[in-house]
Structure 1
Amino acid sequence: MPGPVTWFREPLPRERLPELRRLLLDLRVDPERGPGWRLAVQALEGGGCVLTMLVSHTIADMRAVSLAVTDAVAGRPFDHGFPAPSWRWSPAMLARDSVESLRALPDVWCALAALARRSRKGRAGLLPSSSRVRSGRDRFEPAVDAPLVPVVMDAGACQQRASDLGVASSTLIMAFAARLAFRIGRVDASGRVKLVMPVSDRRSGDRRGNALRSITVMADPDVCRNDPRALQRDFKAALASLNQHGDDLSPLLPLIPYVPLWLVRHLEQEALGAGLPVGCSLIGELPSDVNRPCGEASLLQASPLERYTASELARIGGVLFIASCRVNEQLSCTVSGYVPDQITSRAELMPFVREALADMGLCGTIG
């Protein structure tokens, strides 16, 4: 169930819009006890407003959210057959949950076996360590949101630049991500960038909240700058391997309802892998109605909002995540990045974004 709509009625100047994320970070979203999602409205000086939809990634991925918004805008009623919250502890619901749990047991045993294999290979640990869970001191630290820089580009111009380089526009965004990672020093010992990308597995009539798998591509940022065709070949090869062999994380997902929170967090980190991964979400083209929740919006952004502490970010070596989506002729790209003691604010991140865009011959409006 959603929470009540949050109204920030004090008008905010448009140049201070980045401050809104700090307010949103304090809004509670809890997929287990609710609310799993909520809306917030911030009034703007001179008229207009910012409408924000906060959704726990446990509840839905971006494709699921876009489908839900599109249905709501079009006035299409939908019923996925889920019972009302008041039925949660009813005998009928308990019986239904018990049957579903029994049906899931084979997958749970397979997941345990997969986790044991990963543990033997040294790729996953079952016990918490100081590098994986919060210390008592961390729990009292204020939340720190990784700085975010939005970039808006003309989709046609981006496509033309990609065609000039002999690649798809999605490959061009991946190359931009690799160059950005290179410029902030998020590379491995050989100078390569580890791009981790979610891949939608959603089919027609799919009711799953998260219908995602993932692939990893190691990118050479120097080669990407002048000739990203090798990156595109590696991306296609990773997709082919995913379709043939599956990914490494999906077999572990049936464990999530049965494990403590610290291990859930560890499994989440497993999705990105060890080292200095760079998240790159290529959402693709979204329906036009996604940009019309209450009239045509001038800008649509999709970005993560994660509660970290400065100590957590220092332990994991910072974060870098790039998400891109297209609505009509507008390509929106959001960059969320944090490097301990180097990039801790939006002003410090923006020059690196400009330089990486220039590396790939891209032009955009940086917000």
Structure 2
Amino acid sequence: MRTPYKDEARESNAGAVPKVSNVLDVLDQRVFDLGRAIGVTSLLQSVWVYDRPVDLDGLRQFHDHLQRGRLSRGIEQSPLPFGRHRWVASEGPSDIEFVAPARPREEFDSWLDEQVNTPLDCEHGPGWHLAVLPFTDGGTGVSLVVSHCLIDGVGLCEALADAALGRDVQIGWPAAGSRGRWKALWQDTWQTVRDIPVMGRGVVAAIRLARRSGSGAGAAGAPGSPTTSVTAPAPVAASVAGSGESMAVPMATVLVDADEWDARAQALGGTSNSLLVGLAARLAKRGGRVGPDGCVVVGMPVNERADGDTRANARSSVAVRVDPELATADLREIRAAVKQALIRHGEVPDEEYAVNAIIPLLPKRLLGATSRASSPNGVGSSNLGVVNPAAGRPDGTDADYFAIKVLPHLGLTEAMLNRFGGTQSFLSGRANGRVFISAHSYLPGRVNTNDRLRQDLLSALNDFSLTGAPL
């Protein structure tokens, strides 16, 4: 697995501010450039629910530490059209939004959807937004929406825990524009020269992936093939054109008792992770999102974040083929497949990651066209594992409910979603004695609503004899 740059380091308040490279990792560059090219934004949303009023002073301290932690940065584009972008100090942190008047708790989901549409800009700021909604019954809901360009799920959990514990991650990012144009041109040109060897390897990897895809190996979930390589039924995807208007993709989040979840995984011969993969496959089957052999290819991010890692997205990915019919009766096959995929991932160079090195060389128009042409329908299953308990204490005390929601790419149109064959992805983690499961899903030619997805998700859990409760 790829390791962070050697000069990246992390120190607490007690240490000196470390010197780190502020050049974006190639995956972070890809996430940013691809979003700009096709006009979409990927987000994460942390959600806390208190059955009582929140401690506002504690929440303000939490907000202040977020501003001084891992989220205290933005992206400065290179003056070169093919240059690597850089991390700089954030220019525009947002204030806490205190919503008034109070709303019924039944309107919480709708309010969370409103928060998702808060304008964010990881280049000029703000790249994240914290908001508080009082309930008419005396409880409180809290939302933090953050751009995926700034951080991934694992990094977000660490950022939340650091802020709740009052730990500031001192990096000392340079101010935006501090290099000056000529110095920036020289530095970025030299960086490109240094990147030539990895770019060469990226070209070779791209050719191999293209040949594998053309031969059909990618659709079979071969090593190195896209992890989101599941296509929806072709007749449905082809028959629905769709509008060019941006649309909201349905989302749902449910909570399952952690002991019940573990007991069921053990009874089926699996693990928490293999149970989540099986659940993703069952939900996919309900929408007809299966291959000719009746199987589903489930893509799983692999966390590669290490101590001192300053990447926003420190991950790679693997894919496994799952029979959703067998998943509810026996998880041993899925468990073995996941284990083998991870072993192979550690032994074989990650060609998809290598391809990221050539992204800066592609014109933005070509980058967008390539994405639209090669982004098949995908099923994702991301497991954050056990979340640091401090992440569930934004006001300094334990929230009654906590979850991190996976959010679809904002800016996607119906036409794009139909062309991709739709989308489905899970994000799960364990906190406060519960397993939260957040999903988004869109299936072409079908009724797509939050309520429909929630019912499908609860029904898929029932297939495993599990009971879930909406957040």
TM, length-normalised to structure 2: 0.68
Matched, 1:280 2:388: no
Matched, 1:175 2:278: yes
Matched position secondary structure for 2:279: helix
Quote the residue 1:43 is aligned against.
134
Question: Would you say the 8 A contact 2:406–2:439 is kept in 1?
Answer: no
Question: Would you say the 8 A contact 2:129–2:144 is kept in 1?
Answer: yes
Give the unaligned 5+ runs of structure 2. Answer: 1-89, 219-236
Work out the CA distance in 2 between the residues paired with 1:352 and 1:299.
Answer: 22
400, 407, 410: which one aligns with 1:298: 400
Matched position secondary structure for 1:320: strand
Change (3 A) 1:170 1:120: closer
Question: Would you say the 8 A contact 1:175–1:228 is kept in 2?
Answer: yes
Matched, 1:23 2:114: yes
Matched position secondary structure for 1:303: strand
209, 223, 229: which one aligns with 2:312: 209
**C-alpha deviation, 1:265, in angstroms:** 5.3
Matched position secondary structure for 1:293: coil
Tell me the amino acid that sits aligned with residue 423 of structure 2.
Answer: V
338-347 or 325-334: bigger deviation: 338-347
Please give the per-residue CA displacement for 1:309-348, whole angstroms capped at 9, x wherever unaligned.
2222222222111110011412111121111332311122
Work out the CA distance in 2 between the residues paired with 1:362 and 1:251.
Answer: 40
Matched, 1:61 2:152: yes
Matched position secondary structure for 2:313: coil
**C-alpha deviation, 1:209, in angstroms:** 1.3
Quote the residue 2:463 is aligned against.
359
Quote the residue 1:72 is aligned against.
163
Question: Would you say the 8 A contact 1:167–1:232 is kept in 2?
Answer: yes
Please give the per-residue CA displacement for 1:48-71, whole angstroms capped at 9, x wherever unaligned.
433222222222111111112222
Matched, 1:330 2:434: yes
Matched position secondary structure for 2:338: helix
TM, length-normalised to structure 1: 0.86
Matched position secondary structure for 1:302: strand
Quote the residue 1:128 is aligned against.
none
Change (3 A) 1:191 1:281: same
**C-alpha deviation, 1:90, in angstroms:** 6.1
349, 357, 361: which one aligns with 2:453: 349
Tell me the amino acid that sits aligned with residue 379 of structure 2.
Answer: V
Matched, 1:257 2:389: no
How many residues are aligned here? 352
- Percent identity of equivalent pairs: 30
Work out the CA distance in 1 between the residues paired with 2:356 and 2:389.
Answer: 33
Please give the per-residue CA displacement for 1:33-80, whole angstroms capped at 9, x wherever unaligned.
433333233333333433222222222111111112222221122222
Matched position secondary structure for 1:150: strand
95, 100, 113: which one aligns with 1:9: 100
326, 330, 333: which one aligns with 1:227: 330
Change (3 A) 1:146 1:90: same
Quote the residue 2:230 is aligned against.
none
Work out the CA distance in 2 between the residues paired with 1:267 and 1:288.
Answer: 41
106-115 or 329-338: bigger deviation: 106-115
Quote the residue 1:240 is aligned against.
343
Please give the per-residue CA displacement for 1:237-256, whole angstroms capped at 9, x wherever unaligned.
00001000033321112233
204, 225, 238: which one aligns with 1:113: 204
Tell me the amino acid that sits aligned with residue 341 of structure 1.
Answer: G
Quote the residue 2:256 is aligned against.
153
Change (3 A) 1:289 1:96: farther
Please give the per-residue CA displacement for 1:161-184, whole angstroms capped at 9, x wherever unaligned.
111112111111111111111112
Give the unaligned 5+ runs of structure 1. Answer: 125-130
Larger RCO: Structure 1 or Structure 2 (Cα < 8 Å, ≥ 6 residues apart)? 2
Q: Give the alignment of 1:73-88 within 5 angstroms.
A: 73-87=164-178
